[in-house]
Amino acid sequence: MMGGAEYELSKLHATIFFVRVSERADWEKVERMTRAGGVDGWLLYGAVNDEVANRLKTAPLNGVPFVVLGDHRCTQSVHCVNVDNSAVGRLAAHHLASLGHRRIGFMGGTMHHAYQKQTLKGFRAAVRELGLDDHERLITDHSSWGQPGRKSTIEWLRNAGPTALFLPDFEWTAGTWRFLKQFQIEVPKDISLLGCGKGSGNVL
């Protein structure tokens, strides 16, 4: 999300800089930059709560608008931009199904983060809704993908037998394509890939 914000701001000839705020000295830095007039707005990412929001509303920071990117812990109303991760999973399943795929594999990341679990939930809901093959074997992660000497993912592909593969984590599509090529699995002849994120949104 921050990368997307930087891309859009660059088109407006604006500059984005990053400040990690975890200690008192970090807040002092934020206040100095604000007093110097070098900040037009704040993009907040991370564990943003009411304490953070209230601090940004008081002097010397008040008057500078802020927007929270992603999930937050605020109980008060704040401006927020987020991704409907469940919709990401649903749209992927619908799109691949519209191309004729009935057995779609899901290769997620660590599955430790909320967005990963939400994406999988949306994907599974769409698979059931569309009456596609719904087997637990079609769900896996890429923890062993591309590791030297490891063929567990290739074995998974052959055993689970998906005709298409959805990779919801950013920047995995190109690497997956290269890895499959090493094992003479052709895209899209043998399997279709659908990636998620900037530059990987096309079906191969």
Domain total in the chain = 2
Summary mean pLDDT of the chain: 87
pLDDT of 176: 85
- Same domain for 107 and 191, yes or no, is yes
Secondary structure of 1-60 in the HEC alphabet? CHHHHHHHHHHCCCCCCCCCCCCHHHHHHHHHHHHCCCCCCEEEECCCCHHHHHHHCCCC
Encode pLDDT of 177-197 as tens digits.
Answer: 888 888 899 999 999 999 986
- pLDDT one-digit tens code per residue, 128-178: 999 999 999 999 876 655 554 455 778 888 889 999 999 988 677 888 888
Question: Which of 81, 111, 133 is at the close of a domain?
Answer: 81
Which H or E element spans position 167? strand 164-167
Structure confidence by residue, pLDDT tens digits, 99-140: 999 999 999 877 787 888 999 999 999 999 999 999 999 998
Same domain, 66 and 96: no
Nearest residue to 137 (alpha-carbon basis) of 119, 161, 121, 113: 161
Residue 202 within a domain: no
Residue 29 sits in the same domain as residue 72: yes
- What was the pLDDT predicted at 150? 53
Within a domain: residue 148?
A: yes
Specify whether 44 is located in the same domain as 90.
no
Same-domain pairing of 136 and 47 = no
46 and 115 housed in the same domain: no
**Is position 200 within any domain?**
no
Rg (CA), the chain: 21
Looking at residue 200, its pLDDT comes to: 44
CA dihedral of residues 194, 196, 201, 204 (deg, nearest 10): -20
SS3 content of the chain, % helix, strand, coil (to 5): 40, 15, 45
Range of the domain at 27: 2-81
- In the three-class reduction of DSSP (H, G, I as helix; E, B as strand; rest coil), residue 203 is classed as strand
Global confidence as pTM = 0.73
Q: How far apart are the first and last CA of the chain?
A: 24
Say if 204 falls within a structural domain.
no
User: Do 67 and 92 fall within a single domain?
Assistant: no
Angle, to 10 degrees, between the axis of helix 114-130 and the axis of helix 85-98?
Answer: 40
Mean pLDDT to the nearest integer, 86-97: 96
Which residue, 32, 63, 81, sits at the end of a domain? Answer: 81
